[in-house]
Amino acid sequence: MTLSSLNWVSRFTDQTPGDAEKGGTSRQVPGACWSRVDPTPVPEPVLRLWSREMAVELGIEAGEGDVLGGSSLIKGMDPYAQRYGGHQFGNWAGQLGDGRAITLGEAETGEGVLELQLKGSGITPYSRFADGKAVLRSSIREFLCSEAMFHLGVPTTRALSLVTTGEDVIRDVMYDGRPAPETGAVVCRVAQSFLRFGSFQIHAMTGDFETLRKLVDFTVRHHFPGHRTDSDEALLEWLKQVADETARMIAHWMRVGFVHGVMNTDNMSIHGLTIDYGPYGWLEGYDRGWTPNTTDARTKRYRFGNQGRIGEWNFARLLESIGPLMSDPERLYEALDYYRESYQAHDRNVWAAKLGLGELRPEDEELISGLVSNLEMVETDMTILFRSLSNLSSPDVSQIEFAFYDPETIPAQEWAQWLSEWWQRVDGQPDLEGMRLANPKYVLRNWMAQLAIDAAEKGDYSVANELHEMLKAPYDEQPEHEGKWYQKRPEWARHRVGCSMLSCSS
């Protein structure tokens, strides 16, 4: 079985309004949810990374590099770029759309329809001033991280393949006026759909309530079984599900130490999936104020500790855009309240699971805030600290020492105090096995991705493959990987571009 034997359907282009023109140059496309456009063929497509798990889900064994690189199409595919808008860093940015992504088609797998989309396959009517292409470094980051997130149990879009194109792409990595050629690549990503909050916003913001209505009906009919759209009540029920899935996703990010970095409303999936892996990062030292995104360095709007609240802000923008379809839009506040409650509940579950507390008690609030305050006292590796707790045999500071960057400055007294409180709370018998399922041992640390990139840029994909394999079992001990990858950030990575700072220049 290959891509050509899949059962290709085209529900989205058949059932929602689209652009009358195919392809063409950048333009406004009022009244449309999509524009037909073919991927741009590339000189030398070579398949470099492949997700067997994703392929199995699709029901295929192998992929054709030329198709996954955008150089040829299969009968039944109906490629298009989606139109959407979005609030970027808090400001309405108007029409954005798939500027460098092209959906090849939707495949009926027997257990549901999945959309296959190429990222980096050339210009579309939504490319604006950019080239529609992607570089190897950001493609590796998307491929590895989305698969790692899946295996961590975090809702996410998936990656099937990474193909290099044999063509250079010019990028100014740090926007400092020093553009340089980089290897071009295309990732094929997969999800039930790539609809975003911004997909709905664009129609509401332009006053096109007819198209908005059609898109909402389509979305609920195909993606939210059991829901309806024919009354305020029904719309609210649907929105509450979106609220819950969004809150659940962000609580998972907080559990594993993931910072999305660009939580603009065009990067918020309607399915509560982590989407659009750009300048994301993973906490090394626990720090609620950290963001990897240099574009956001001043206000840190999308910092780790703000993600739950930004989810709420973004969800409010989605609610506003559904308002025009309701007879009593005031009722949308019910859905907003629901997000808040839902996030709180998921957040509590996360802490309970990470600390093996079972049912959370009111007095646990203090235990948790004490922990956070200890974690932020000196640079303390989040992943190692929680993993150490998950293997603790006695409430002894020596058992968590490995999590600290500087053995000289460990706040031993504060930790001794906290450990003994926690130990008492769990009656000296923490559910370590349960905790090990909430506290991963291996995550895609920023410097790990960078090592995979450095090697791949020299044509060596062994590091990327090694990480891909290891991150399929992030909760297992995997002692063979411990010495190399269960490690705090090495000093060389502290200030290196790509490790501690990332831009949107992908």
- How far apart (Å, rounded) are the C-alpha atoms in residues 68 and 189? 10
Least distance CB 127 / ligand AMP (angstroms): 4
470 binds, among ligand AMP, Mg ion, none (CB under 5 to 8 A by kind): none
Report if residue 98 touches Mg ion, rule: CB under 5 A.
no
Q: How far is the CB of 95 from ligand AMP (least distance, A)?
A: 9
Q: Which stretch binds ligand AMP (CB under 6 A): 108-116, 125-133, 179-187, 336-344?
A: 125-133
- Piece of 122-130, 139-147, 152-160, 422-430 that binds ligand AMP (CB under 6 A): 122-130
Note whether 117 binds Mg ion by CB under 5 A: no
Concerning whether 406 is annotated as a catalytic residue, the answer is: no
Q: One of 38, 208, 266, 296 is an active-site residue; which one?
A: 266
In the complex, minimum distance from the CB of residue 297 to ligand AMP, in angstroms, rounded to a whole number: 16
Nearer to Mg ion, 143 or 485 (CB): 143
210: phi then psi, degrees, rounded to nearest 5:
-70, -45
User: Which H or E element spans position 65?
Assistant: helix 65-68
Candidates 36, 48, 83, 100; binder of ligand AMP (CB under 6 A) is 100
122 binds ligand AMP (CB under 6 A): no
Residue 40 has what DSSP assignment?
P
Element (H, E) at 95: strand 91-95
Produce one character per residue of 488-501: b if its CB has 16 or more CB atoms within 10 Å, e if not. bbeeebeeeebbbb
- Whole-number Å distance between alpha carbons of 268 and 339: 14
CA distance linking residue 122 with residue 104, whole number of Å: 13
265 near ligand AMP, judged by CB under 6 A: no
- Tell the residue number behind the tokens 């050509």, with chain if given: 4
278 touches ligand AMP (CB under 6 A): yes
Position among 6, 29, 32, 96 found at the interface with ligand AMP (CB under 6 A): 96
Q: Which does 474 bind (CB under 5 to 8 A by kind): ligand AMP, Mg ion, none?
A: none
Q: Identify whether the C-beta of residue 411 lies closer than 8 Å to the C-beta of residue 424.
A: no
Contact call for residue 156 and Mg ion (CB under 5 A): no
Q: Which stretch binds Mg ion (CB under 5 A): 73-81, 268-276, 380-388, 482-490?
A: 268-276
Contact status: 276 vs ligand AMP (CB under 6 A): yes
CA distance 209 to 323: 10
Q: Which pair of tokens denotes residue 85?
A: 């808008």
Nearer to ligand AMP, 177 or 428 (CB): 177
Give phi and psi for 22, each to the nearest 5.
-100, 135
> Are 140 and 453 contacting, i.e. CB atoms less than 8 angstroms apart?
yes
End-to-end CA distance of the chain: 33
Is 127 a binder of ligand AMP (CB under 6 A)? yes
Count of residues that interact with Mg ion, criterion CB under 5 A: 2
Q: Which of 117, 146, 241, 267 binds Mg ion (CB under 5 A)?
A: 267
Q: Contacting Mg ion (CB under 5 A), which of 38, 64, 106, 276?
A: 276
Please give the Cα distance from 379 to 388 (Å, whole number). Answer: 16
Distances (CA, A) of 491 to 66, 148, 188, 409, 457: 40, 24, 34, 17, 22
Task: Give me the count of residues in the chain.
Answer: 506
Q: Taking CB under 5 A as the rule, does residue 142 contact Mg ion?
A: no
- The residues of the shown chain that bind ligand AMP, judged by CB under 6 A, are 96-100, 126-127, 130-133, 262, 267, 276, 278, 504
Active site residues: 266
Interaction site with Mg ion (CB under 5 A): 267, 276
